Chains A and B, each alone.
Chain A
Amino acid sequence: MVRTARSEATRTALGPTLVRLCREGLDIVCIDADLGYSTSAVKFGQEFPERFFPVGVAEQNMIGVSAGLAACGKIAFCSSFAVFAPGHCFDQLRMAVGQPQTNVKLVASHGGVVTGEDGASAEAIEDLALMLSIPTFRVIFPADVVEAEQAIETAARTEGPFYMRTLRPKTPVIYDDSGYRFQLGRWDRLRDGSDVTLIACGELVKAALDAAEILAGEGIATRVLNASSLRPIDREALLGAARETGAIVTAEDHFVHGGLSGLVAETLAEENPVPLAFIGMRDRYGTSGTWEELLEYFGLTPQAIAEAARGVMSRKSQ
């Protein structure tokens, strides 16, 4: 297994990064719907109370106010849980942010089934599909807290709508001391190989790396791509993987419909159909449990990814 030195929740990147960027002179404001403690936005509020606007438990209002602030030149960061924003405020995101392309950055924590004990209502597994359905949103799902911090900075420094998904539990950090720089539209190649490609996002990037280790033990050379930038995607990396490895497995803590799997399938169906398999949530909602139990329960594991890789490889020759 790929060892990592530490674990950290990606949601902890938001507040401290915004504090740093605001100190560097970016005109950042933060709009909050009573989850600032959980999303770490409150850290920004402590430093810059005059730039921190709580609106109460009112996500639709949060997006509307953010859009208004953005229309006046502010870089408007708002945050909630991914089930509530976009869940509660999709039309506001579409009308006040997506269509006019206001400079609003929604950073939603508690994505995925790994939200855990809170159960189905709290586990966002359709948020990426919702946000990818608005064409003007850049959509990012960082693999770890290091990438999360970099992606927040990119969002702050890049004009226009952004959606970023972060996670509740402390997940393994893979980019410590790596010199890695997040770039929009670039999928980091974490491991190279020519037999099969694993494309993952979020916490399943680590699972994909572990799957590649399992496969290496069987003599299978596996490429692993971190698809943190879901819009724009890295077409070059994706088409290269299809061309050079001829078989692809995607892995995401989200419904396979409308998220990473959908993006990969749509692109390859038009350009270069190769055998595909999707690891993700299908046809049912989450449930209560610890986050690690739930990854096992729903088959979002290195073993399942490795098994899917053997499957797509066996279909290559046909």
Chain B
Amino acid sequence: MARAQTVSVDELKSIAKRIRRHIVQMTANANSGHPGGSLSSVEIATSLYFRVLRYDPQNPLWPDRDRFIVSKGHATPMVYSTMAEAGYFPVEDLMTFRKLGGKLQGHTIMQKPPGVEMSAGALGMGLSFSLGHALAGRLDGRDYHVFCLLSDGDCQEGQTWEAAMASAHHRAENLIAIVDRNHIQNDGFSDYQRFPDGNGSRPQRPGGWVLKDGHTANIMNLEPLEDKWKAFGWSTQHIDGHDFEAIIRALEAAKTHTGGPSVVVCETIKGKGVSFMENNPDFHGKAPSPEQLEQALKELAD
């Protein structure tokens, strides 16, 4: 059973807002969790579940489903919120997030709840697992696609590049990687592009750049990222990861690409949609306080 794919961009926008509200509410309720990298990938996930993916929430293990494999397993608020909106489980379950005995664990666990594709939380493992799904699909003559969501940190782990090499080698044309390129990680900024008061021209400095507040300004430069994927034999696209039309266009184009794997590098803003979280490394792994939640919900109101 395929999902109806008639949702308009306006509707997508209002779904995305709901998902963002869930994200801030469930992290505030858990008093922990990862809002920043969840908010940055909301348009990506919403586009997938409401326009691109073929799936059936009543039959999460349907063998012909498209796979959405989230390598950045800390982005559970995004994963669970989107799945709840897509009908996998009741929205109320989101409030059990990170609670003892709750259904929704801090990091993803494969098929808990059903529909979660991968146990993750250790970065760097998703692309290999996705390639496995892609190779199995080809072997079994199934026409599904595998979408793998990667983060900045994922792209720093060696395993990702081992998988990238292998995916091109095996011409996995049913494999599509999506990079949530928000340029912020756990401790601060990946590279200089988003340096708060800089323009990218700061001299490289051995040992990194530790800001007064403790954040590291250049944890690891990933640029030129698109060229790296190209050099590894991937077809590449580079888009605005908050622009629904661009995302859907890119993913559809990637689906029709033949001969090898495709990657869509999505430029995103960590914490997108909540003013005080945007581009703020503090909200990688910190929940909003009750006052901050109130403010966030105001900003995310319909």
Chain B: minimal CB distance from A303 (Å):
18
Using Cβ atoms and an 8 Å threshold, which residues of chain B touch A240? Answer: none
Contacts of B214 in A (CB 8 A): 37, 42-43, 46
CB of B150 to closest CB in A, whole Å: 11
CA of A297 to CA of B185, assembled, Å? 32
B107 at the interface (CB under 8 A from A): yes
Structural contact, A122 and B106, CB atoms closer than 8 A: yes
Q: Tell me whether B216 and A119 are in contact (CB under 8 A).
A: no
Nearest CB on B from A175, distance (A): 27
* A40-67 interface bits toward B, Cβ cutoff 8 Å, 1 = contact, 0 = none: 0011011001111111111011000000
Work out how many contacts link A and B, with CB atoms closer than 8 A: 134
Partner of B121, one of A50, A55, A61, A119: A119
Q: Are the CB atoms of B210 and A52 closer together than 8 Å?
A: yes
Distance of B30 from chain A, by nearest CB (Å): 6
Q: Which of A34, A61, A122, A297 contacts B187 (CB 8 A)?
A: A34
Nearest CB in chain A to that of B206: its residue: A50
A293 proximity list for chain B (CB < 8 A): 100
CA–CA, A36 and B156, complex, Å: 16
State how many angstroms separate the Cβ of B222 from the closest Cβ of chain A: 8
When the two chains form their complex, are residues B107 and A84 in contact, meaning their CB atoms are under 8 A apart? no
Residues in A whose Cβ lies below 8 Å from that of B207: 45, 49-54
Measured CB to CB, the closest approach of chain A to B65, in angstroms, equals 24
Is B129 interfacial (CB-CB < 8 Å)?
Answer: no
Q: Is there an interface contact between A56 and B100, defined as CB atoms closer than 8 Å?
A: no
B28 CB to nearest A CB, Å: 13
Report if A289 contacts B (CB, 8 A). yes
In the complex, the chain A residue whose C-beta lies closest to that of B287 is A117
Partner of B107, one of A52, A57, A119: A119
- What are 7 A-to-B residue pairs whose CB atoms are below 8 Å? A32-B187, A45-B216, A58-B157, A116-B32, A119-B98, A121-B109, A289-B98
Report which A residues bind B (CB closer than 8 A).
32, 34-38, 42-43, 45-46, 49-58, 60-61, 83-84, 87-88, 116-122, 287-290, 293-294, 297
Closest 5 A/B residue pairs (Cβ): A56-B220, A121-B121, A289-B100, A56-B156, A119-B106
